[in-house]
């Protein structure tokens, strides 16, 4: 155990930010987003401003660090299913404001995923640096989708 423990309820997702040795925690109950310092265990609640794509729910989606964007990305859309949410940290992700917006995927994408699964995508959203895009398995009985970055 490192640092103080605290209790939260609801679905939770974690994403490691390697350049800052901290974790972005999403949760659909209580504080939506928090940053945890891995060395000290301290939890920070910086501000997040902007609009998520497709009604993304923190904690019900799996956030992924994308080094080339310097941001965390996620997909959990009930609308606008071809959009991906980007969360960009400030210089210090623990205390500086984060910006939420959407990223543009390649116009060559010929896929339109179905709306999110009722209980979320969990770990079925991933970023592949080798492929230069995102892979999504919205539901286990559906096709695999790929979003190329522009």
CA distance 80 to 83: 6
pLDDT tens-digit readout, 88-114:
999 999 999 999 999 877 778 777 788
Q: What is the pLDDT of residue 59?
A: 82
Give every CB contact of residue 11 below 8 A, 6+ residues apart in sequence.
Answer: 27, 28, 29, 57, 59, 60, 120
Phi, psi of 54 (to 5 degrees): 60, 25
Give every CB contact of residue 61 below 8 A, 6+ residues apart in sequence.
Answer: 13, 26, 74, 75, 76, 120, 121, 125
CA distance 18 to 68: 13
pLDDT tens-digit readout, 19-44:
999 999 999 877 789 999 999 999 99
pTM: 0.89
Q: What is the pLDDT of residue 83?
A: 87
Q: What is the pLDDT of residue 64?
A: 95
b/e per residue, 74-90, with b = 16+ CB within 10 A? Answer: bbbbeeebbbbbbbbbe
């Amino acid at each position: 155990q490192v640092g103080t423990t605290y209790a939260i309820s609801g679905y939770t997702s974690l994403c490691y930010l390697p350049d800052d040795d901290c974790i972005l925690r999403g949760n659909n109950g209580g504080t939506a987003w928090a940053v945890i310092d891995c060395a000290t265990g301290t939890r920070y609640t910086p501000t997040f401003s902007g609009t998520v794509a497709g009604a993304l729910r923190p904690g019900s989606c799996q956030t992924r660090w994308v080094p080339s964007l310097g941001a965390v990305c996620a997909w959990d859309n009930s609308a606008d299913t071809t959009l991906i949410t980007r969360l960009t940290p400030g210089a210090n992700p623990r205390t500086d404001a984060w910006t939420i917006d959407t990223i543009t995927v390649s116009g060559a994408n010929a896929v339109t995923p179905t709306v999110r699964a009722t209980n979320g995508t969990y770990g079925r959203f991933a970023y592949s640096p080798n492929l230069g895009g995102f892979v999504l398995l919205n539901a286990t009985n559906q096709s695999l989708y790929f979003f190329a970055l522009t």
